[in-house]
Amino acid sequence: MASKAAYKRLTKEYVNMQKEPPPFVWAVPDEKNILTWNYIIRGPPDSLFAGGEYHGVLMFPSEYPFKPPGIKMYTPSGRFQPDKKICFSMSDFHPGSWNPAWSVATILTGLLSFMLSDELTTGSVTSSDSDKRVYAARSHAWNLSQRKFKEAFSDFCTPELRDLPNMGEKERGKVVTPDPTPSASTLPPQLSHVTDAIVAESTPQSSAVRASQGGEKPKGTGTGAGWAEAWRQVIWEKWRWGLLIALAVVVSRVSTSN
C-alpha cells in the first residue's frame, strides 16, 4: 500500500505528465494500484528503434519518493530482456544513487537515454542493428496481442501506430499547441478525487474560485469594498502604532519616577 507521501506525489506527477509530457514517453498509473505505472516509449526517428512502441512497467515502493522503482520492459526490443528487471542508475538496483527529486518523467527520460546507449547491464541483451529495426517494426503488432497493454492503453490499441502526446516536435523546433489542463475526468478513478485540489493549487486564480464556490466573497472584489477595506487597514495601523508609542511613554515616565 502506498504511503500518504507516495500517493500525493504520484498523483501530482500524473497531473504534470499530462500537462508537460516528456518527448517520446508516456505513462499512467494502474487503476487498482497507484504504485504500479505502465509506460510507453516510442523510438526516436533518428535511432535504431525508430517506429518502435515499447511497453513496460514502473514498480514504485511504498516509500517513494525516498526509494527508487523497479523497472521492466515487456515489448521485445533487442535491447532489454522482456519482463526482466533493468539495472540502471535510476532503478532499485542502485538505491544509493537515487535522488528523491527525480520523477516519473525523469526516470522514463533516463530509461530512453539508456536504451539508446550500448551499455550492458543486468536485464540488457545484445543484438544487431538490423535485429533492433525488425523488433521495432513488429512492436506495435506484438503489443496489440498482449492483455496488459490493451488494459493499460486502450486508446493506443489502434490498427495504425498512434503518436504519443509529445513526439519531440517542440524539441526539434516545430510549433506545438499545448493541451488544456487535465481534469479529474481524464484520470484513473482512484486519482480523480484528489486531482482537483492539486490542479487548483497550481492555478493563479484558484483562491478566488474556491471562495466563490464556497459562498465566500473573494477579498478585494468590488471597487467600493476594496477602498473601504484599504482605509480601515490604514486607520488601524495608525492607531496601533499610536497606542504603542503612548504606552512606551507611560512606562518610561513610571520607570523614571521610581
Chain centroid to CA 16: 4
Count structural domains, the chain.
2
Q: In this structure, are residues 91 and 64 in contact, taking their beta carbons and an 8 Å threshold?
A: no
Chain centroid to CA 44: 21
**What are the catalytic residues?**
87
Domain check: are 25 and 112 in the same one? yes
Grid cell 533487442 is found at: 78
Domain check: are 49 and 140 in the same one? yes
Domain check: are 147 and 239 in the same one? no
Q: In this structure, are residues 84 and 70 in contact, taking their beta carbons and an 8 Å threshold?
A: no
In angstroms, the CA 114 to CA 77 distance is: 13
Per-residue model confidence (pLDDT) at position 227: 42
Domain check: are 154 and 247 in the same one? no
Domain residues for the domain of 60 are 4-174
Domain check: are 109 and 235 in the same one? no
3-state secondary structure the chain: CCCHHHHHHHHHHHHHHHHCCCCCEEEEECCCCCCEEEEEEECCCCCCCCCCEEEEEEECCCCCCCCCCEEEECCCCCCECCCCECCCCCCCCCHHHCCCCCCHHHHHHHHHHHHCCCCCCCCECCCCHHHHHHHHHHHHHHHHCCHHHHHHCHHHCCCCCCCCCCCCCHHHCCCCCCCCCCCHHHCCHHHHHHHHHHHHHCCCCHHHHHHHHCCCCCCCCCHHHHHHHHHHHHHHHHHHHHHHHHHHHHHHHHHHHC
Domain check: are 243 and 152 in the same one? no
Return the CATH number at 132.
3.10.110.10
Q: In this structure, are residues 229 and 220 in contact, taking their beta carbons and an 8 Å threshold?
A: yes
Domain check: are 252 and 126 in the same one? no
One pLDDT digit (tens) per residue for the chain, 258 residues: 899 999 999 999 999 999 999 999 999 999 999 999 999 999 999 999 999 999 999 999 999 999 999 999 999 999 999 999 999 999 999 999 999 999 999 999 999 999 999 999 999 999 999 999 999 999 999 999 999 999 999 999 999 999 999 999 766 555 555 444 444 444 555 555 555 544 454 444 444 444 444 444 444 444 344 444 544 554 455 455 555 555 554 545 544 454
- Structural domain includes residue 194: no
Per-residue model confidence (pLDDT) at position 1: 87
- Structural domain includes residue 21: yes
Domain check: are 113 and 235 in the same one? no
Domain check: are 227 and 163 in the same one? no
Domain check: are 253 and 139 in the same one? no
Per-residue model confidence (pLDDT) at position 169: 75
CB within 8 Å of 212: residues ≥ 6 apart: 218
- Structural domain includes residue 240: yes
- Structural domain includes residue 208: no
In angstroms, the CA 92 to CA 76 distance is: 22
- Structural domain includes residue 202: no
Max Cα–Cα distance, the chain, nearest Å: 100
